[in-house]
Chains A and B, each alone.
Chain A
Amino acid sequence: MTDSKASPRDLRIGVYICHCGGNISDVVDCPKVVEAAAGFDDVVVSREHSFMCSDPAQEMIIEDIRKQGLNRVVIASCSPSLHELTFRRTVERGGLNPFLYEHANIREQVSWVHGSRPEEATAKAIRLVRAAVGKVRLLTAEERIGVEVLKRALVVGGGLAGLRAAKSLADQGIEVTLVEASPFLGGHTAQLEHLFPHADQARELMAPLLRGVADSSRIEVLTRAKVVGVEGYFGNFQVELEVQPRHIRGPLPADKLAQITEACPKSAPSEFDYGLRERKAIYMPYPGCVPEVPAVDMQSCSRCGKCEEILGADAVDFDEQARRVKVDAGCVLMATGFKPYEPYKGELGYGELEGVVTLAQFIRILGALPKDAGELEVGGRKIQSVALIHCVGSREIDGVHDPSPHRPLRTYCSRVCCSASLHAASEIRERFPGVNVFELYRDIRSYGFYEEVFERASRNRVVFLKYSDYEIPVVKAGNGEAALSVVVNDQLTGGKAVDVPVDLVVLASAMEPGDAGEIVGLMKLPIGSDGFLLEVHPKLRPVELAVEGVMVAGTAQAPMSTDETSAAACAAAAKAARILTRDEIPLDPFVARVDLSRCQGEGLCVAQCGYDGALQLEEIEQDGEKVKRASVNAVLCKGCGACVAVCPHRAIDIVGCTLDQLYRQVDGLCA
């Protein structure tokens, strides 16, 4: 860079004031700011433009750098989170080091907040520009920090999102380790049947994906595994996994599988069927699941050895122990999914009245019925009418829903339950036309293209009853004709109490955040107030977590439909691939830098540092003596500045934000 040695003596600063199409200029007197800036020391160019981020404006800046020999640039516009990077690139294209640039925010910090006081706003804008000009004088040319990338992704979670992301990465030539906590892949999607809106069979859709993952030479699948340790940083994570034993070596021929399942004397409630049925201690949830090796649930197993008799001693090992596995990965994708909310005992009759089930359970019930079943039968009872109740555990309101002792309030909308309920309602009406279906809803939120699901339910003559946010329906035992009775103050009938006699009540229960495991604490992953993983910014940095190199895919982030989950997983995979296909990742250089000529190795900074491994004392040789001096790991350092504050010798500073630069900035503000 030609300008890197520019001393304060031969500074040539360009200042650019953006109107933001009126967002700024409607309040701030931009020409006045331009005029003021022109008067600051060493400012040789001062201009304005209606949109500084536009191509013509950027070209103007580049031309100024080249023709006017600018060696510092200040742009006063919107928030730096929007366009600082844009302008750094502009400056770089003009041949200047991109870190000889300073940004002043005169939109969010001025025009948007002082709209009623234009004169004072203009004065504030001038101050902010003066501060930026003061700081830019002392900026130095810097190089981005290069991080070497380990070319493997760790995908945590083997549901739809994890599978889709893993497959997508493997298809791009990237090695993947896929970690699943349960013994089988497929997650909750494998437990679904006909997916809205087009009634595709969930497991048929999943089959090629499962097969693709299982057969991929680039994907290592670890089931019954969880993350127990994480070290390292962006591009270079060392992850430790604990893998619980399966106790069975497979694959097994189909007849053997049938035999052991038959022979096993112990059983437990089936996770796959949400406890509606029992499964054996040695089990596979459904035919064709992956891995195609049964798992043994040692909590219910009695070690009777019947399976061993059938399979032979080589295939069964009751004493197999958990093992630890280390994985080096450049990126981590969190696909830890959701948990279907199970209503508390007594919530809308759940757990107390026969015939009250969750939608997830009802889908299993529908799935277990023979295709040509002429009647809807549940638990041996013939069902003639069904009520589906929306918003169970979602959109809860303080004072209406009781947060204690059951759980904290869940105020968010679970998004898929409306469409899923409507879809189930249509399925009932289409398969069993004699069954009356009632939907008790607060608002129908079958958003976007799912409108057709609502439309179809309406055409199938599903009867809708609307309950208000403040009056939850009551489910009670029926009196005579029907097993149950649902009383709802129907907003569509003037709020009058309507008593709907039904044989079955289906609760469209919420999607809760899944258990993401220890990795959340280990990596300090941000969790939102609703308990889901929190992405950095839905528009600017979707599917990225604030911890660099960690992406979130699917319902670990928020309630999503299977379509949305697939899209989110592909987005996360694309973001990961962007990192993993490079040899090195450039990071901004805004981290701590030690001035070895001043450092005395007292280590006050190290004690203050909040980021493990970012700052430590290292033994070096100085003037022929072995001394301890502070040393920064530029990748782990977040540039927070805690070290700067405690150093008694002013031996440490944050690049791009040194104390001297800050003083100049303050001088500019106070002048």
Chain B
Amino acid sequence: MPDLVPFLEVPDLLVETGGDGLNLCFGCGTCTGLCPWNLVRSFNVRLLIRTAQLGLEPEDTADVWRCATCGYCVANCPREVPIIDVMRSMRAMTGESGSHPQTIRAMLASQGQNGNPWAGEAEARNGWACELEMPESGQADDWMFYACCTQCYDPETRRSAVAQVRVLRAGGVKMWISPLESVCCGCSVRETGSVELTERMGRSNVDRFKKSGARRILTASPHCYNAFIKDYPAWGGEYEVRHYTQVMHELLQSGQLVPKREVKRTVTYHDPCYLGRHNGIYDEPRACIRAVPGVELVEMPRNREESLCCQGGGGQIFMDAPADERFAKLRVQEALDAGAEVLLTACPYCNSMFRDSIKILDAEDRLKVMDIAELVWESLA
């Protein structure tokens, strides 16, 4: 085999495109040891970062597209290497030569064309809310409710959006629905390395939101929450952004929402990566669950900072991993082992991923996936 020759133009470019910190890695391998991929198949994160440092070809180019951006490695990296940023830059570089995986290419095409990743018609975006009769504008202090594309176009997940709006309304929150012309927050575009499209979509949203007068945004998905907070300010989109669990928690605390009906169920809560590790929100969702009378909350062994990713982030939800390579399947099993009847979450991706895996495990009669808002609504309605 010929010797490998470093090609430092590659890391130079990776650093330039957001992978600054790549050289901090000293190769300890904590990332590989922690990465959930290694629960289902081998994925040497350390070696991939190493090939990036030297500008070498990865042994398996598919590895570039594997990261679910769960952030477990980043949170534990002793050198604080921004591994996700490096992965994203590698994807950008690989993508520039047009070598996206087929599924990602399809997703990106839909984003560019329809403004959502699910090949849904743009006009159908707000169809999920038809029964709610939400206004299309409001007072300056009112909230703009921004549903996730997955809720908009996945019939099973849309129920969670409806429940979220119902619960928040019951607590007296005034809100209007995000404009029909809104597009995806861009998280999956960004995580798969399409820098320009991410910015184009972001700026388009900033425009639309401005026209609709939005100053405060309530998001259903932790991914949208993350994008609005971290990406949008650079494009002039400065908002007060909240994830719905935060507002719901405030309403329960202040007594504006009082769940009365007893819900006799054993539940467990899955921390979505973008709510937990990425944004440090662990307690509010749990407080919302505990506020429901009759509910018994059991924890899975991996919880909070150590939560096991559902594999929905970083574009993975579109990649359709083979059944035996799904983290969600492991997670569903953990929920079952913990004795839960309901697997609660607060993210549309997790919601969708778990539903699929429950089907794969043929566990529909033993475990149900619900959004926290659905549980709370059951106790209110």
Given A493-B50, A494-B47, A499 and B26 contact (CB-CB distance below 8 Å): no
Number of A-B contacts (CB under 8 A): 52
Q: Tell yes or no: B54 within 8 A of A by CB.
A: yes
Q: Tell yes or no: A249 within 8 A of B by CB.
A: no
Do A493 and B47 have beta carbons less than 8 Å apart? Answer: yes
Q: Tell yes or no: A492 within 8 A of B by CB.
A: yes
Cα-based distance from A463 to B15 in the complex (angstroms) = 13
Do B56 and A493 have beta carbons less than 8 Å apart? Answer: yes
Instruction: Pick from B1, B3, B15, B27 the residue with the most CB of A within 10 Å.
Output: B3
| Cβ–Cβ < 8 Å partners of A464 in chain B | 26
| 1/0 contact string of B1-18 vs chain A (CB within 8 Å) | 101111010010001000
Do B27 and A498 have beta carbons less than 8 Å apart? Answer: no
| 1/0 contact string of B34-76 vs chain A (CB within 8 Å) | 0000000000000100110110100000000000000000000
Do B3 and A497 have beta carbons less than 8 Å apart? Answer: yes
Instruction: Find the A residue at minimum CB distance from B29.
Output: A492
Q: Tell yes or no: B24 within 8 A of A by CB.
A: yes
Do B23 and A498 have beta carbons less than 8 Å apart? Answer: no
Do A436 and B8 have beta carbons less than 8 Å apart? Answer: yes
Cα-based distance from A494 to B4 in the complex (angstroms) = 12
A503 nearest CB across to chain B (Å):
14
Instruction: Find the B residue at minimum CB distance from A499.
Output: B3
| Cβ–Cβ < 8 Å partners of A436 in chain B | 8
Cα-based distance from A501 to B4 in the complex (angstroms) = 11
B86 nearest CB across to chain A (Å):
13
B8 nearest CB across to chain A (Å):
5
A121 nearest CB across to chain B (Å):
45
Instruction: Find the B residue at minimum CB distance from A455.
Output: B24
Given A492-B50, A494-B47, A463 and B3 contact (CB-CB distance below 8 Å): no
Cα-based distance from A532 to B56 in the complex (angstroms) = 45
Do B23 and A462 have beta carbons less than 8 Å apart? Answer: yes
Instruction: Find the A residue at minimum CB distance from B55.
Output: A463
| Cβ–Cβ < 8 Å partners of A461 in chain B | 11, 15, 22-23
Do A498 and B11 have beta carbons less than 8 Å apart? Answer: no
| 1/0 contact string of B352-367 vs chain A (CB within 8 Å) | 0000000000000000
| 1/0 contact string of A481-498 vs chain B (CB within 8 Å) | 000000100111110111
Within 8 A of A (CB), among B264-322: none
Instruction: Find the B residue at minimum CB distance from A501.
Output: B5
Cα-based distance from A646 to B236 in the complex (angstroms) = 99
Q: Tell yes or no: A86 within 8 A of B by CB.
A: no
A27 nearest CB across to chain B (Å):
41
Within 8 A of B (CB), among A411-453: 436, 438, 444
Cα-based distance from A491 to B6 in the complex (angstroms) = 15
Cα-based distance from A491 to B5 in the complex (angstroms) = 15
Chain B, interface residues (CB within 8 Å), range:
20 to 34
Do A463 and B53 have beta carbons less than 8 Å apart? Answer: yes
| Cβ–Cβ < 8 Å partners of B11 in chain A | 461, 463
Given A436-B8, A463-B23, A498 and B53 contact (CB-CB distance below 8 Å): no
| Cβ–Cβ < 8 Å partners of A491 in chain B | 27
Q: Tell yes or no: A466 within 8 A of B by CB.
A: yes
Q: Tell yes or no: A259 within 8 A of B by CB.
A: no
Do B24 and A498 have beta carbons less than 8 Å apart? Answer: no
Partner of B54, one of A458, A462, A493, A501: A493
| Cβ–Cβ < 8 Å partners of B53 in chain A | 463
Cα-based distance from A444 to B27 in the complex (angstroms) = 12
Instruction: Find the B residue at minimum CB distance from A493.
Output: B50
Cα-based distance from A458 to B56 in the complex (angstroms) = 19
Cα-based distance from A464 to B26 in the complex (angstroms) = 8
Instruction: Pick from A460, A463, A494 the residue with the most CB of B within 10 Å.
Output: A463
Q: Tell yes or no: A500 within 8 A of B by CB.
A: yes
Do A458 and B3 have beta carbons less than 8 Å apart? Answer: no
Q: Tell yes or no: A406 within 8 A of B by CB.
A: no
Partner of A492, one of B3, B23, B27: B27
Q: Tell yes or no: A459 within 8 A of B by CB.
A: yes
Partner of A458, one of B5, B26, B47: B26
Partner of A498, one of B5, B26, B79: B5
Chain A, interface residues (CB within 8 Å), range:
20 to 34
| 1/0 contact string of A106-138 vs chain B (CB within 8 Å) | 000000000000000000000000000000000
Within 8 A of B (CB), among A497-525: 497-501
Do B51 and A459 have beta carbons less than 8 Å apart? Answer: no
Given A492-B50, A493-B47, A493-B50, A458 and B24 contact (CB-CB distance below 8 Å): yes
Do B50 and A498 have beta carbons less than 8 Å apart? Answer: no
Do A498 and B8 have beta carbons less than 8 Å apart? Answer: no
Do A499 and B4 have beta carbons less than 8 Å apart? Answer: yes
Partner of A463, one of B5, B6, B24, B51: B6
Cα-based distance from A444 to B51 in the complex (angstroms) = 20
Instruction: Find the A residue at minimum CB distance from B47.
Output: A494
Cα-based distance from A466 to B29 in the complex (angstroms) = 14
Instruction: Find the B residue at minimum CB distance from A438.
Output: B6
| Cβ–Cβ < 8 Å partners of B51 in chain A | 493
| Cβ–Cβ < 8 Å partners of B23 in chain A | 458-463
Do B24 and A496 have beta carbons less than 8 Å apart? Answer: no
B85 nearest CB across to chain A (Å):
15
B186 nearest CB across to chain A (Å):
29
Partner of B6, one of A462, A466, A494, A498: A498
Cα-based distance from A607 to B50 in the complex (angstroms) = 71
Partner of B5, one of A462, A492, A494, A499: A499
B303 nearest CB across to chain A (Å):
33
Cα-based distance from A490 to B26 in the complex (angstroms) = 13
Do B4 and A463 have beta carbons less than 8 Å apart? Answer: no
Instruction: Pick from A461, A462, A487, A496 the residue with the most CB of B within 10 Å.
Output: A461
Do B15 and A493 have beta carbons less than 8 Å apart? Answer: no
Cα-based distance from A458 to B53 in the complex (angstroms) = 11
Do A498 and B47 have beta carbons less than 8 Å apart? Answer: no
Do B5 and A459 have beta carbons less than 8 Å apart? Answer: no
Instruction: Find the B residue at minimum CB distance from A488.
Output: B3
A489 nearest CB across to chain B (Å):
10
Cα-based distance from A490 to B56 in the complex (angstroms) = 13
| Cβ–Cβ < 8 Å partners of A494 in chain B | 47
A373 nearest CB across to chain B (Å):
22
Do A463 and B50 have beta carbons less than 8 Å apart? Answer: no
| Cβ–Cβ < 8 Å partners of A460 in chain B | 23
Do B47 and A463 have beta carbons less than 8 Å apart? Answer: no
Do B27 and A463 have beta carbons less than 8 Å apart? Answer: no
B21 nearest CB across to chain A (Å):
8
| Cβ–Cβ < 8 Å partners of B15 in chain A | 461
Given A493-B54, A493-B56, A463 and B26 contact (CB-CB distance below 8 Å): no
Do B56 and A463 have beta carbons less than 8 Å apart? Answer: no
| 1/0 contact string of B126-169 vs chain A (CB within 8 Å) | 00000000000000000000000000000000000000000000
| Cβ–Cβ < 8 Å partners of A497 in chain B | 1, 3-4
| Cβ–Cβ < 8 Å partners of B6 in chain A | 438, 463, 498, 500
| Cβ–Cβ < 8 Å partners of B8 in chain A | 436, 463
Do A493 and B4 have beta carbons less than 8 Å apart? Answer: yes
Cα-based distance from A62 to B151 in the complex (angstroms) = 86
| Cβ–Cβ < 8 Å partners of B4 in chain A | 490, 493, 496-499
Instruction: Find the A residue at minimum CB distance from B6.
Output: A500
B87 nearest CB across to chain A (Å):
18
Do B24 and A459 have beta carbons less than 8 Å apart? Answer: yes
Cα-based distance from A359 to B101 in the complex (angstroms) = 48
Instruction: Pick from A436, A493, A501 the residue with the most CB of B within 10 Å.
Output: A493
B54 nearest CB across to chain A (Å):
7
Instruction: Find the A residue at minimum CB distance from B24.
Output: A458
Cα-based distance from A316 to B285 in the complex (angstroms) = 91
A440 nearest CB across to chain B (Å):
12
19 cross-chain CB contacts under 8 A: A458-B26, A458-B79, A461-B11, A461-B22, A463-B8, A463-B11, A463-B54, A464-B26, A491-B27, A492-B50, A493-B47, A493-B54, A494-B47, A496-B3, A497-B1, A498-B5, A498-B6, A498-B54, A500-B6
Q: Please give me the 5 A-B residue pairs with the lowest Cβ-Cβ distance, nearest first.
A: A499-B3, A492-B27, A497-B3, A461-B23, A498-B4
Beyond the given A463-B53, A498-B3, A499-B5, please list 8 additional residue pairs across the A-B interface where CB-CB is below 8 A. Answer: A436-B8, A462-B23, A466-B27, A490-B4, A492-B27, A493-B51, A499-B3, A501-B5
